[in-house]
């Protein structure tokens, strides 16, 4: 699977371009767009200088290398956006840390909703919380969930809520009529819809009872 353009842009934005080699907060020699010797050639050394065009070429090679390493570690199918968020995270913390992280474990266990919280645990550099890492983890979390959040009609199981509601109704044995059926259906619906359903049913029952009470009795008069 390939990184999306948005994923590469996220890495570029948070890494930032540095023409001169420097030590990152973790003490690792870095240059360009977060390139380190651990990521592959070229090796970063003190005093090294890099042009931005060359840095972009190195970034493209580094991103591809990380994507090739992240892919085989995933036991679940993920979207391109989710994959890009995971590669960005791995690019930042390194493959060994990614491999042992609770982020990867949550993905491979299918607990996608937990991934943003797991990402946000990785915000320290040099033993202290870094605002830049907090912003990056938030952006990665948002990207990871971007293919999930629009599907507001889906519950935690991944099935559409209409399917889950039907499953809940059948599980509750809701082949009944009147208020009991309305309550069961309302339980599977959003709160405001539930209120409307219950009020409508109660008004209808009240009107019917009132009509039955006022209806004249027919029959023969002696």
CATH number for position 79: 1.10.530.40
| Residue 36 resides in a domain | yes
Are residues 31 and 102 both part of a single domain?
A: yes
Are residues 114 and 168 both part of a single domain?
A: no
| Residue 167 resides in a domain | yes
Percent of the chain with pLDDT over 70: 66
Cα 104 from Cα 119, distance rounded (Å): 10
Q: Tens digits of per-residue pLDDT, 6-32?
A: 999 999 999 999 999 999 877 899 999
What band does 135 get if pLDDT is binned at 50, 70 and 90?
very high
- Phi and psi at residue 45, to the nearest 5°: -135, 155
Q: Tens digits of per-residue pLDDT, 27-51?
A: 899 999 999 998 889 999 999 999 9
Are residues 98 and 208 both part of a single domain?
A: no
Q: Tens digits of per-residue pLDDT, 171-210?
A: 333 333 333 333 333 333 444 444 444 556 566 666 655 5
Residue carrying structure tokens 């590669």:
87
Check pLDDT > 80 for residue 3: yes
Are residues 130 and 49 both part of a single domain?
A: yes
Q: Say what the pLDDT of residue 38 is.
A: 87
Known catalytic membership, residue 140: no
Are residues 128 and 42 both part of a single domain?
A: yes
Are residues 126 and 204 both part of a single domain?
A: no
| Residue 219 resides in a domain | no
Q: Could you give the 3-state DSSP secondary structure of residue 35?
A: strand
Are residues 175 and 127 both part of a single domain?
A: no
Which candidate in 5, 6, 15, 54 is catalytic? 15
185: containing domain: 161-214
- CA proximity to 123, closest of 114, 113, 135, 112: 135
Residue carrying structure tokens 């509750």:
172
Q: Say what the pLDDT of residue 209 is.
A: 54
Q: Say what the pLDDT of residue 155 is.
A: 36
Q: Say what the pLDDT of residue 127 is.
A: 85
> Cis bond leading into 42, ω under 30°?
yes
Mean pLDDT score of the chain? 77
Domain boundary among 96, 113, 145: 145
Q: How many domains are contained in the chain?
A: 2
Are residues 14 and 119 both part of a single domain?
A: yes
161 burial level (CB within 10 Å; 0-12, 13-18, 19+): middle
């Amino acid at each position: 699977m390939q990184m999306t353009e948005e994923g590469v842009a996220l890495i570029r934005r948070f890494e930032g371009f540095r023409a001169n080699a420097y030590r990152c907060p973790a003490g690792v020699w870095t240059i360009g767009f977060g390139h380190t010797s651990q990521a592959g050639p070229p090796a970063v050394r003190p005093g090294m200088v890099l042009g931005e065009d060359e840095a972009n070429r190195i970034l493209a090679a580094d991103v591809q290398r990380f994507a090739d390493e992240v892919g085989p570690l995933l036991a679940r199918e993920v979207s391109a956006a989710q994959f890009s968020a995971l590669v960005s995270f791995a690019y930042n913390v390194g493959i060994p840390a990614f491999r042992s992280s609770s982020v990867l474990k949550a993905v491979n266990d299918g607990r996608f909703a937990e991934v943003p919280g797991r990402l946000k645990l990785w915000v320290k550099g040099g033993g202290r919380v870094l605002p830049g890492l907090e912003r990056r983890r938030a952006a990665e979390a948002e990207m990871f969930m971007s293919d999930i959040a629009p599907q507001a009609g889906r519950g935690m199981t991944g099935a559409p809520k209409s399917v889950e509601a039907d499953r809940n109704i059948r599980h509750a044995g809701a082949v009944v009529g009147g208020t009991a059926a309305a309550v069961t259906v309302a339980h599977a619906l959003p709160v405001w819809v539930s209120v409307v359903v219950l009020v409508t049913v109660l008004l209808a029952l009240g009107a019917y009872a009132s009509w039955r009470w006022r209806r004249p009795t027919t029959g023969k008069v002696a």
